[in-house]
Amino acid sequence: METYKTVRARARAEFTEKRSRFIGHICPSGKEEDALAFIGEIRSEHPAAAHNVYAYILRENQIRRYSDNGEPKGTAGVPCLEVLSKSGLTDCTAVVTRYFGGVLLGAGGLVRAYSHAVKIALDEAGIVTMGRCLLLTLRCGYNQFEKIRDIICDFSGTELKTDYAADIQMDFQLEKPRLEEFNVRLSEYSLGSVNAEVTGECFAPIS
């Protein structure tokens, strides 16, 4: 997988339906322990809630899990999971906290309420596309540095770390599909005197 979509940031949003208070929480989660830690945190914040329903989807081992947390089967966790899935998201966790208001919502009402809680939390968080990027390093002279920095910027690269010594060492990241064209441009400018070395890979926001 070269790209995937996830939530841009942690967020929460809430609404009231027939006196029941629904609080949607959403958070990026790269691993299952991250998802479980987030769920545990929300439960600790809302110990008096009637329910803390959750759902999460992870790239790791293609994990998809949910819990109705005491709501009627299929009325809470599954709707939350479906909102994440239909939005094309992965590596994220949603938790919906419900404070019961004394009025039963019925199966259909619960499905709509839990779905809506995740949707409004997602609207607050925003969606980001993550792309496979290469981690690179290069050395150059002080007289070359500003131009090379401009070239990296032209290719939507991100400068990570720069060390100034006898020469300059720059660590940066670049979208993987752009490496070949970048190397051509770098070589043309430096006449082959500067080369970028790949040191690793990562996923980073690309849009």
Q: Give the tens place of pLDDT for each residue, 127-162.
A: 999 999 999 999 999 999 999 999 999 999 999 999
Give residue 1's pLDDT.
Answer: 61
CA distance 149 to 174: 12
Q: Decide if pLDDT at 5 tops 80.
A: yes
Q: Decide if pLDDT at 206 tops 90.
A: no
Residues 6+ apart with CB under 8 A from 130: 3, 4, 5, 6, 91, 203, 204, 205, 206
Chain position carrying tokens 């990570």: 160
**166: part of which helix (H) or strand (E)?**
none
CATH class for domain 3-125?
alpha beta
Q: How far is CA 16 from CA 5, 65, 91, in A?
A: 29, 26, 28
Q: 3-state DSSP call for residue 103? A: coil
Q: 3-state DSSP call for residue 177? A: helix
Domain definitions of the chain by residue range: 3-125, 130-205
Is residue 54 within 8 Å of 67, Cβ to Cβ? yes
CATH, domain range 130-205: 3.30.70.240
